[in-house]
């Protein structure tokens, strides 16, 4: 029995143990990221310990005080009713001992979401991937603009006319010196294109 992703969200900065229902998501603010765990009752939390402290990571059950430490902690999603609470705890305990941690595909937030809503997902990873895609698009645009501009300019400059009408660079393209200049420009643009990963 799974509930949708719009379960009740708590905005409390902190919460007492007695106010926590089993199955509640707990979020600890670490430096640069947020660590997630599932409160399973009795002052205990199941979380995915990362590979920094444990090789391949580890889904384990620890004391709430150890999970929180001295860092800010708050409650996230809460179960909607008793049955849902029991199901979340059951699913969390079914993963105990797992050692398949992946920062991008199977981290602590993936675990919590899978336990609560049946979807292995991480909002932190989604935001990171969106930022990376935007950066890649910006870099690609920045890299392509000078090449496109150079190729357009060359197209204009190397349009050797059949008449004596001058080209954009002030010559007909028939003199040896002009041809040499234009070929040199081609070589420069091709070299720049290959340096930036293009193969015209």
The predicted-structure confidence for 45-104, as pLDDT tens digits, reads as follows 999 998 777 778 999 999 999 999 988 899 999 999 999 999 999 999 999 999 999 888
Q: Are strands 25-29 and 73-75 parallel, antiparallel or unpaired?
A: antiparallel
Token couple for 42: 């009795």
Report pLDDT for 178. 58
Nearest to 81 by CA among 16, 40, 25, 24: 24
pLDDT in tens, 129-187: 787 777 777 777 665 556 556 555 655 555 544 444 444 444 444 445 555 665 666 66
Contact, 26 vs 45, CB < 8 A?
yes
Report pLDDT for 88. 97
CATH homologous superfamily of domain 17-121? endopeptidase domain like (from Nostoc punctiforme) (3.90.1720.10)
Residue ranges, CATH 3.90.1720.10, the chain = 17-121
Burial code (b: 16+ CB inside 10 Å, e: under 16) for 14-35 equals ebeeeebbbbbbbbbeeeeeeb
Question: Distance between CA atoms of 23 and 196, rounded to whole angstroms?
Answer: 51
Q: Which residue has the tokens 């004596």?
A: 164
The C-alpha angle with vertex 143 and arms to 138 and 147, in degrees rounded to 5, equals: 140
């Amino acid at each position: 029995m799974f509930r949708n992703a719009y379960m009740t969200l708590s905005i409390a900065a902190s919460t007492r143990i007695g106010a926590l229902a089993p199955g509640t998501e707990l979020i600890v603010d670490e430096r640069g990221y947020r660590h997630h765990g599932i409160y399973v009752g009795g002052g205990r939390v199941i979380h995915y310990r990362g590979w920094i402290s444990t090789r391949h990571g580890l889904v384990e059950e620890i004391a709430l005080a150890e999970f929180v430490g001295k860092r800010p902690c708050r409650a996230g999603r809460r179960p909607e009713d008793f049955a849902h609470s029991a199901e979340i705890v059951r699913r969390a305990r079914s993963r105990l001992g797992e050692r398949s941690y992946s920062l991008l595909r199977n981290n602590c937030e993936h675990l919590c979401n899978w336990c609560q809503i049946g979807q292995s997902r991480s909002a932190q990873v989604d935001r990171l991937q969106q930022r990376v895609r935007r950066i890649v698009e910006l870099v690609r645009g920045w890299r392509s603009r000078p090449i496109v501009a150079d190729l357009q300019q060359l197209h204009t400059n190397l349009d050797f006319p059949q008449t004596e009408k001058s080209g954009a660079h002030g010559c007909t393209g028939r003199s040896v010196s002009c041809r040499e200049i234009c070929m040199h420009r081609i070589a420069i643009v091709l070299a720049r294109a290959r340096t930036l990963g293009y193969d015209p």
